[in-house]
Every structure is written in C-alpha cells, then in structure tokens.
Amino acid sequence: MKKSSPIGVLLAQIGTPSAPTAKAVRPYLRRFLSDRRVIDYSPLLWQPLLHGIILTVRPRKSANLYQQIWTEQGSPLLVHSLHQQEGLQQRLGDGYKVELGFAYSKPDIRDAMSRLEAAGAERILVLPLFPQYSSTTTAAVYDAACFAALGKSRRYGSSAKRFVPALRLAGAFFDHPGYIRAMQKHLAEQAGSLARPPERFVLSFHGIPQRYADTGDPYPGQCQETAQRLAEAMGWAPEQWAIAYQSRFGPEPWLGPTTEEVLRSFTQRDAERTMVFAPGFAADCLETIYELGVEARHNLMSKAGDNLNTSPAEFQLAPCLNAHPAWLDFLADFARDSTAGWEK
C-alpha cells in the first residue's frame, strides 16, 4: 500500500432517472424493482408481472410526477447528492477521495468504485446515506458495492479483477448524537423562519412491507428510536408529534400508520399549523418533494372539507438535510470514525 494513497469514501444512494421521461424512468424502475432485496417475490411470479404490466404502465405515470419536481440542474436527488459529495470532500481533505454512487442508476456504484481505485484508493469506506438500516436500502447498497469491488456483476460467475480493495461497510447511524443534533438544528431553523411556529410535527419515514419487519428487518425499531430522540432534542411534548410511514407499493400490509392518516388526525384535533419532516431521507427527492409536499397536502385539504382549520400556507414541509453544514460536519466525523486506523 502506497503511503500517499487516499482513503476512499463511497457515498451511496438508491438512484434516480436521468430525465423526467418514460424512456428514462423505465430502465431505472426495471433495475430497482428487479432487486430481490426490494421485491422478494419469486422471479417466476414477479418478473412476468413486472415486465408485462408494471413497466408498461408505471414509467409514464412516474415520469409525469418527476416532471413536476425536476430542476434546471436535473434530478433533485442527484443535485443534492453531488452537493453532499462536494461538501464532504472539502471537510475530509486530500487524505480522502469521495465518490458518489447510485445502486440503480448513473452515477453507478460500479463506476464510482472504479474511480476510487483509479485514484489509488486501496481502502474504501462504503457509506450508505440511509440513517436507518433496511434490507431494502442499506443491504442493497452493500450488495452492489461488494460486487463492484470484487469485479462481479452478480452473485455467481467469475471475476476478472486481480486486486480487491479493503472494504468497510458503514453501519446505520439512526441514534448517533451528531445526526440527531444536525436534525435538531435544521428543524429549529425551519420552525424559526415561520411567522407562526408549528403546533404539531409529523416525522414521515419511507415504509416497508410489514412482512419484512416481521422476518427480521430492524428498520421500524430504528425509525422509532430516531423519532423519539429527535422529539426529546426538540423538547416536544408527546401530543405534539407523531411518527408515520409513506410510499406504500403493492397489495400486502405495510408499516403504519400512514402519513396521511396522521395528518388527518392532527387536523381533527384542531391543529392549525403542522410541519412534516422526513428524517430517513438524506436528500430531497420525489418521495419528499412531491409525495409529501404536493400529494399529502392535496389529500389533506381535499378530504378535510368544511371542518378543515388548516390553510395550505400552514402546512409546512421541512426540506431534508441536503447540504446543511451541521449534517455535512456529522458525515465527515462519521467517516473519520468509520475509517479509524486507516489514516496511520
């Protein structure tokens, strides 16, 4: 190992289409929904359904939603993730090389791993940007990163690579004080910027099928721990906040209550000002900007009817941590701690 070789850091995310079109959405969804970490049904049953119906109908619908959140710079998830990469690189300095990799789209994890190795990194930290572990996200990234390091495209088959870098897989940080502090500072700033402070807070996490949790995925317990610690840091009374889950897909039961159910319950209790925040999302994306900022707001307003006390202006969606300085400071500290001993 060369003394001057940098420590590699692979910031990993799920991915995003390259454009808000059905043509670009289709290959992204095909890769995403073909991963058995995400959908664990038998391929004999799932693949005909995926290719025969879902990939025929869903890409156009999803493209219409992406068009509503797309920016001049491109996908919000990609834009924010690149800012995170840049901010983390600045904080870690020349002794580290930070690359961004997506599991199901460009910039691909395989390409990011190649760039790290080309830069001389022989020790690489894989840092999934998911505070709470789930087999559908964290483990999927672990798979992609390990296969990329080994030079394999799948679990079975030969590899042409002669050298495999040393890997460390960063774990979940759902209860890390630095992560909690970053969210506390961010939410305090968001609430403080409003003319009237929120009365209630909804902490919305991406859902997973209940069956996954029942068979060993620790995700819901970690979401609960994150929410409880954040509420304590914010000084919220128990009646001021609630945890919820969003983004259901398919017919089987998922984690609950849903974000819509919690929002409606707050409205029925005469809460005039509600702030929604998604602690499990490191960067704003379709699930936060559209699903929470547009769809959840619309559903709440349309179903509340004459009994609604909340005006649209008083439904506040707090942005994700994105490139907040406190969040990037935490990521830098977490990366250093996770690579302890390598810098010597």
| 343, part of any domain | no
Cα–Cα distance list, 322 to 1, 69, 86 (Å): 35, 16, 12
Are both 90 and 105 inside the same structural domain?
yes
pLDDT level of residue 145 (50, 70, 90 thresholds): very high
pLDDT digits (tens, 9 = 90+) for 63-105: 999 999 999 999 999 999 999 999 999 999 999 999 999 999 9
Q: How far apart are CA 174 and CA 248, in angstroms?
A: 22
78 & 186 share domain: no
Are residues 167 and 182 located together in one domain of the fold?
A: no
Whether 2 maps to a domain, the answer reads no
Of all residues in the chain, the percent with pLDDT exceeding 70 is 93
Angle formed at CA 166 by CA 161 and CA 168, multiple of 5 degrees: 130
The pTM assigned to this predicted structure is 0.93
Do 11 and 100 fall into the same domain? yes
State the number of CA atoms in the 13 A half-sphere of 81 facing the CB: 24
| 255 belongs to a structural domain | yes
Specify whether 126 is located in the same domain as 243: no
Residues 79 and 93 in one domain: yes
Asked, for residue 195, whether it belongs to a domain, the answer is: yes
Q: What angle do CA 208, 214, 220 make, to 5 degrees?
A: 50
11 phi, psi to nearest 5 deg: -75, 125
**Residue 191 domain flag:** yes
pLDDT of residue 264: 86
Residue with tokens 């049904």: 41
Residue 273 and residue 209 share a domain: yes
Residue at 193 is within a domain: yes
Q: Residue 59 pLDDT more than 90?
A: yes
Q: Are residues 12 and 160 in the same domain?
A: yes
Judgement on whether residues 18 and 164 belong to the same structural domain of the protein = yes
Summary mean pLDDT of the chain:
93
In a domain, 258, yes or no: yes
Same domain for 117 and 184: no
Residue owning tokens 């990939």: 55
Find the helix packing angle between 325-338 and 177-192, rounded to 10°.
Answer: 180
Q: Could you tell me if 166 and 203 lie in one domain?
A: no
Report d(CA 272, CA 266) in Å as an integer.
9
- In whole angstroms, give the CA distance from residue 98 to residue 96: 6
> How many domains is the chain partitioned into structurally?
2
- Regarding whether 169 and 136 lie in a shared domain, the answer is yes
Which CATH number does the domain housing residue 87 bear?
Answer: 3.40.50.1400
- In Å, how far are 218, 259, 331 from 282, measured between CA atoms? 19, 18, 11
Assess if residue 202 is contained within a domain: yes
Contact (CB, 8 A) for 39 and 33: yes
Contact 93, 5 (CB under 8 A): no
Q: Which domain holds residue 14?
A: 7-173+325-338
- Share above pLDDT 90 across residues of the chain, in percent, rounded to a whole number: 83
